[in-house]
Amino acid sequence: MVDEETRLVGLITDGDIRRAILKGVRLEDSATLAMTKNSITAKHYHTKGELFRIMAQHNVSHIPVVDEEKRPLGIVYRSFLTKENLLTTPVVAMAGGLGTRLRPLTNEFPKPMLKVNGKPMLERIIERFRDLGVIEFYISVNYKAEVIENYFGNGLAWRVQIHYLRETKRLGTAGSLSLLPRDIPCPFFVTNADVMVDLDFRTIYQFHRDNNPDLTVAVKKINYQVPYGTIEVEHDRIVSLSEKPHIKKYVNAGIYVLDPEVLKEIPADEYFDMTDLINKLINNGRKVSSYLIDGTWMDIGQKKDYYRANNIFSKENQDELAEEHEGVFESELWQHSIEAT
């Protein structure tokens, strides 16, 4: 329902009409007597994940998309978004590292706030998860924590909720997880805040739910060529010689999905690395799974990695990745909605 200037004033459904008739509204009366005023709406910049979350929060099955003047652009149906397998789980970003190997770049800024093509790495991570439906973020901070907190605040500007896990001393790559609330209801993500990856986070999360491990570790397969000939020796006898062999290994990609029960294994107020947690689970007979990343992955540990990331994750590549994972929003989502009406 719109006014003379085509601005949205309300919604009306067959149920609204039935209820209005039961209250005595006649078929000859204005439809405005039956419509729902102040209906829940979404803006044109909301992503699929945000649309799904808004509808879930308000328990509605459809939502109008409007511009800044409240003029309708289309309507989106929850049944369509459900098929997208969107994320509604919390995400923990580990952003307390010193970034020693990146100095002097990290003299003024913590490593997660270094920009890749004009935007801090941590901001890119938050936006990627947000666009898939995530609203709740926990950021573990220590070194130059004020820079991160002053930049993101409570997350309102990014349409998310941000909480901070503040270390009073260095707790390692997993120790700060002991500061999380103990009522997290579902498996959740933990990610290093200096990792750039084109992984579709929905796939690793679904893998975790399907296989039901205590912990899933994202891994990347690397192929490294030794620049020298290598020799296998038994005692003082050479048994084989390889000329510049290729070594293939799986490396920890710094992205995890954890079952909330795992938090009980993390000691409070102690230095505790993620490798300590993984080994502890394995030694106790708990299930730890791996998920192979097929696409681009970079750990920004050294200056050469940082400069390379600014070339690989250019704006053009980011747009391409967004299109690949989200679809062409207007043509795919709104066109579907218009046809449905």
- The predicted-structure confidence for 314-341, as pLDDT tens digits, reads as follows 554 444 444 433 333 333 343 333 333 2
pLDDT value at position 320? 42
Q: Which amino acid is at 33?
A: L
| 3-state SS track over 210-245 | HHCCCEEEEEEEEEEECCCCEEEEECCEEEEEECCC
Look up the pTM and report it.
0.70
By three-state DSSP, how is residue 176 classified?
helix
| Mean pLDDT value across residues 51-63 | 80
Residue 84 has pLDDT above 50, yes or no: yes
By three-state DSSP, how is residue 311 classified?
helix
- The predicted-structure confidence for 95-114, as pLDDT tens digits, reads as follows 877 767 767 767 777 888 88
* 177, 202 Cβ separation under 8 angstroms: no
pLDDT value at position 140? 92
Question: Where do the domains of the chain lie, and which CATH numbers do they carry?
Answer: 10-84 (3.10.580.10), 91-316 (3.90.550.10)
| Mean pLDDT value across residues 233-246 | 83
* 220, 251 Cβ separation under 8 angstroms: yes
DSSP conformational letter for 260 = G
By three-state DSSP, how is residue 250 classified?
strand
